[in-house]
Amino acid sequence: MAQDECSGAANIALDTPTPFDTTAATNNAADPAFGCGGGSPANDIWFEFTAPASYTATVSTCNTATYDTRLSVWSGSCGALVSEGCNDDLFGTCSGNTSQLDVALVAGTQYWVRVAGFTTATGMGDLLVTGPPPPPDECVDADPITPDVPEPIDTTVATPTAAPDFSCAAGGGDLLSPDLWYTFTATDDYMATASTCGTVDYDSKIEVYSGDCVTLVSEACNDDGTGCAGFSSVSTNWVSSLTASPSRVTSCKNTNTSSTTWPRPMASRRHS
Ligand SMILES: [Ca+2]
Ligand SMILES: [Ca+2]
Ligand SMILES: [Ca+2]
Ligand SMILES: [Ca+2]
């Protein structure tokens, strides 16, 4: 069974419960210590996958395995593995001493999942590795972004948001444009810039709002920024940290108005 060794790890599809069977698995003394559930040899098998995005994945045999499992996740390479996390039993959530852990993944990095049992236990079950969360397609699902840190965006999987329309629409038809939503909180009074200027490979548009998703108040909108390549956008507005209320939250709505592949950062930059 090739999957018995790290070098023969089977690729696992994300978000897909994948049957496994460790009854023929053996221990390789050259492998690093399992990491949890005691130091005894692990009759383990190996899966691998590459993270398609940076996100926190759940890795689980929870309530699916017929025996007392252990799970560990590794980066690096076979022979030079780096531990990313380990779980023997997630008591209170997973019955029968099955296992589950969350692991923070980095886009483009290959990971290995090692499925074993407590002491020498072996058996069968389903392994699940969750995929990236859905994109922030609607205002209520807006992703928090950090000012001054470029945020990768991909509107190819977005759908149009029904309302409101962009206030800087030119030529109409914007309701049919796929858009994504982000949110940040002003911690100071300053002139902020929300921008895809020169970083996206499609004709973008940005609108910044305050208020909340029920009552959005437009603060600034831009279709094509002066000096920005490919009809990309730069939207500038004054944001405030209010003392009378927790803080002012603004949202950034970004859309594509033409076909697109993989756009890149939307930065929210501070300009004093
Ligand atoms: Ca093995
Ligand atoms: Ca266990
Ligand atoms: Ca949308
Ligand atoms: Ca544009």
Task: State the distance from the centre of ligand 4 to the C-alpha of 248, rounded, in angstroms.
Answer: 26
Task: State the distance from the centre of ligand 3 to the C-alpha of 21, rounded, in angstroms.
Answer: 42
Structure confidence at residue 157 (pLDDT): 78
CA dihedral angle for residue 34, residue 35, residue 38, residue 41, rounded to 10 degrees? 10
134-142 mean pLDDT:
86
Q: Which residue has the higher pLDDT, 36 or 149?
A: 36
Is pLDDT of 115 > 90?
yes
Structure confidence at residue 133 (pLDDT): 87
- Note whether 2-129 and 139-271 share their fold: yes
Ligand nearest to the CA of 231: 4
- Model pLDDT for residues 166-216, shown as the tens digit of each residue: 888 665 556 667 888 888 888 888 888 888 888 888 888 888 888 888 888
CA dihedral angle for residue 57, residue 62, residue 66, residue 67, rounded to 10 degrees? 80
Q: Which of the listed CATH numbers 1.10.1420.10, 2.130.10.30, 1.20.950.20, 2.60.120.380 matches domain 2-129?
A: 2.60.120.380
| Three-state SS at 231 | helix
Confidence of residue 260 (pLDDT cuts 50, 70, 90): very low
Residue entry with tokens 């920024």:
225
Q: Which residue has the higher pLDDT, 162 or 106?
A: 106
123-142 mean pLDDT:
92
Residues with Cβ < 8 Å from 234, sequence gap 6 or more?
193, 194, 195, 196, 197, 206, 222, 225, 226, 228
Is pLDDT of 81 > 70?
yes
Task: State the distance from the centre of ligand 1 to the C-alpha of 105, rounded, in angstroms.
Answer: 24
The CATH classification number of 139-271 equals 2.60.120.380
Domain ranges of the chain: 2-129, 139-271
Structure confidence at residue 262 (pLDDT): 32
What stretch of H or E contains 222? strand 216-222
